[in-house]
Each structure stands twice: as structure tokens, then as C-alpha cells.
Amino acid sequence: MEPKEILAEVVPNPEEESFNFDLTPKEIVTRLDEYIVGQSKAKRAVAVALRNRSRRRKLPEELREEVYPKNIIMIGPTGVGKTEIARRLSKLCGAPFLKIEATKYTEVGYVGRDVESMIRDLATISLNLVKNEFREKVKERAFEKAEETILDIILPPIFYKKEEELTLEEKERFASYKQSREKFREKLRAGKLDDQEIEIDIPKSSAPAGIPMLQVFGAGNMEEMDNQLQNILGDLMPKKQGKRKIKITEAKKLVSESEAEKLIDLEKMQSEAVRRAEEMGIIFLDEIDKIAGREGRQGADVSREGVQRDLLPIVEGSTVSTKIGPLRTDHILFIAAGAFHMSKPSDLIPELQGRFPIRVELDTLSREDFVKILSTPKSSLTKQYEALLATEGVQLSFTEDGIHEIANLAFEMNEKNENIGARRLNTIMEKLLEETSFEAPDLAEDKKKIEVNRNFVQSILKGIIEDKDLSRYIL
């Protein structure tokens, strides 16, 4: 069939229009380049995976159900950008994103978290995302209602009947009341009443209203059972109203939130949260190499294999009961990552290997990469420190030779000690600017201009780096 013929069968869903994602793979890689240096192979792999989701939504419904995401395994040492790639990817498309460590989970029947809890966590993240969007839509209406509620407390209504039912004398009194109310409204909007205190009714329960919390208890997971039991009891018990005396500025916020909850269609919100998690959810499974069994080993590896087998139905596709309803995992994108120093991807059980068809190796960072990391990204470390110290009136700047010296030192430390990748830069930058950060508020005006050049870096760090024993503990 021609592409036009296939797409002609698609019936557009108006509810999905606000969640369209039409960046091309090249555009996705360009966006990732703004924050992450190098690793083009990994960026291309995740860009294609994300674009395929957009393509899938444009397919006829029957074919759409048959197209599954191609899960990815990222292989590379710590600090080269595995987590950051997945995190930035989720931000690009506003998808529910969960980062978890595979080592947190235990085989069903053992003490610890069972693998299904990751889907429940993803459901919660999705619900919070959608809830914020729904709140934003009703924000103005909620504020208007909150305004009326606060005005009713400041200036209580004098009549509780329709205006046409009032007598002539009552109408005159009502007209005067309306004028006074409008004057108070102007003062309220101008913030002139913010410091005044009023007494309002506030629900004592903090649980979100109307969302059923019934779930299936995870086997061997007492912590999960305890949390779920509290949620169930919280919904069954009636909410108590408690009077509190607070400032009007705080009352605006609390009453607006309360009114927003009333305006939101809870059933529609839950339905959208489930759809968002099912269709666009991303789970980043870190430290996957730590649950890979190694040939000839016993003991703990038995439990590791059990976790892998528990992961199989989740990754392949199953239905998990969550607080927002049953959630299918068929189309959730799983991105696994690991250093694989002590094991290799082939040490994973064959069934799980088959669920991660795309494997990407990330490159070890070079000196040039460190230089780019310090200067190129939108939120580079140098820009972060410049902004932080600017709040104290300190004008911090980094010269080109200063950046190169920091990059060289980071690279050398990774060569001599454990290679922790770009995370070494955090350690070096913190030590380099430790004294400056401490003294910043008390610096004299003529000393508030600081240039970080090669001499500045060497004067502070050279002695530490040359002392091997000291550098091992400090850097």
C-alpha cells in the first residue's frame, strides 16, 4: 500500500492533539547536542526510538497495536552521559519518565521491592504531569472562584435571595454592598490586603479527593502494602474541615488549589494519565549490569536471575494494577544502561536480551570532550558557577586556558584513579572555587571580579594533584 492509503485509515483523536510530538530525528539530536557532548550513536538511537512513537500514533488502530517500541541497552562507563540522554529525551516530549536502579528490586517472595512497583511509580509520575496540565487549564476560573470565596469572608453577603426578589429598600442596600465589594476586589487584586488575616475552612486530609487508591498488594513488599492501606483508609474516611487563621496572600493560593480540584474532571484526568503512561512512558533502568549473572558464580546470582525473570513480563507487555487503574506495559519504552565492567550483555538471560534489540556503546570521554562539557552546553558547569556567584555580586569569568587546564586535570585524575567520567569535573570545580564561594558575601568591591585562568587553577589544585595520596581522597 502507498503511504497515503495507509494514513487515510487513521482517525485522528482530538484529545491527542495537545500531545503531538513532531521533531525529526535530526532535530532531536540537535536538541540533545545543546546539553550533552558527543555520544552521537546513543543520541541517534534514542532519537529514532522517540520518532517511531510519533509515527506509530499516525498508523491505523489495528496496525498501531502491533508496533512495539524497540528497547535500548546503553553500554558505557559511568559519567559519559547515559542517564542525561534519557532524562533530556523525556523533557523534550514531556513524557512520564522514571529513572530507577535495577539493584533496588528483588525476586517476588523476597524482602524488597518487586518489579511491578516501577510501573506504579510511573503511573504516579504520569498522574502528576497530567494533573499539573489540567490545573493550568482551570487556573483562571479557579482564581476567580477563590476571589469570590475570600470576598465572601471579608464582606459576607447581606441577602441570600435573587436580586429580582428584593424590595426597593433592599435593592438600595444591595447596590451599596456591591460598590463596597468591588472596592475590596480592587484592593485584593492590587495586593493591598495580602497581610490581613482571615479565618477559612481547610480540609485536614492531604490525600487527593476522588481518586480511588485500591491496588493489588505486591508480594513480599510490606512498605508498598502499608502505603496502599493508608491510601485506602484515607479515601474511606470522610474529610474533616478545620478552621485556620491565615494571611490573605496564603489564602489565595490554598483556596485556588481547592477550587481547581473541584473543577477538574477526575475521571478524564485519570484516563489521560493512564494513556500517557502507556503510550509515551519511558523507564530508564540503570545498573542493569549488576543483575547480570556471571559464569561459574552462585549464591547472589540466583536472586539476580530471579529479578531478570520478573522483568520479562513487564518489558514484554503485561497489565499492572495501579492507583489510577490497570496499566498496560506493552508500549512503554525501556532504556537500560550499565558499565558492564564485571559482566557483559550476553550474561543477561537470553529471554531478556531479546527484549532489548538495540545495543549502543558510549565512548569514553577525551580531553577535548571535557573542554566542550565545560563551555558548550546551555547549562555548563562554568555558566552555573558564574550565575551562582553573580547572586553575591561576584563577577566570575573563565578564560580559555583556564578551561583547558581544568579539563586536563580532570582527564589526568580519571587516568590515575577510578574513571568517573564527567562527574570528575564537579569534584574539581567545587574544590577550585571552594574558597571563593565561602568568602563571596564578604568580599570587598574591588575584589569581586575574579578571573579563573591557568595560573589560578594551578595555584589551587596543582599541589593536591601532585600528592597522590591526598588527591585520591579530595579529588
Q: Is 38 annotated as a binding residue?
A: no
C-alpha distances (whole Å) from 320 to each of 78, 182, 315, 335, 356 are 32, 53, 12, 19, 21
Q: Which run of H or of E encompasses 36?
A: none
Q: Is 306 annotated as a binding residue?
A: no
Q: Where are the alpha helices (DSSP H) in 202-356?
A: 222-236, 248-263, 266-280, 300-316, 350-354
CB 206 within 8 Å of CB 159 = no
Length of the chain: 475
CB 247 within 8 Å of CB 240 = no
Here the cell at position 128 is 502528576
Measured in degrees and rounded to the nearest 5, phi and psi for residue 66 equal: -90, -10
Here the cell at position 394 is 561576584
Q: Is 220 annotated as a binding residue?
A: no
Whole-number Å distance between alpha carbons of 421 and 410: 9
Q: Is 80 annotated as a binding residue?
A: yes
Q: Is 351 annotated as a binding residue?
A: yes
Which residues, at least 6 apart from 402, have a Cβ–Cβ distance to it below 8 Å?
451, 452, 453, 454, 456, 457
Q: Is 37 annotated as a binding residue?
A: yes
Q: Is 170 annotated as a binding residue?
A: no
Q: Is 82 annotated as a binding residue?
A: yes
Residues making up the binding site: 37, 79-84, 286, 351, 423
The annotated binding site for ATP is made up of: 37, 79-84, 286, 351, 423
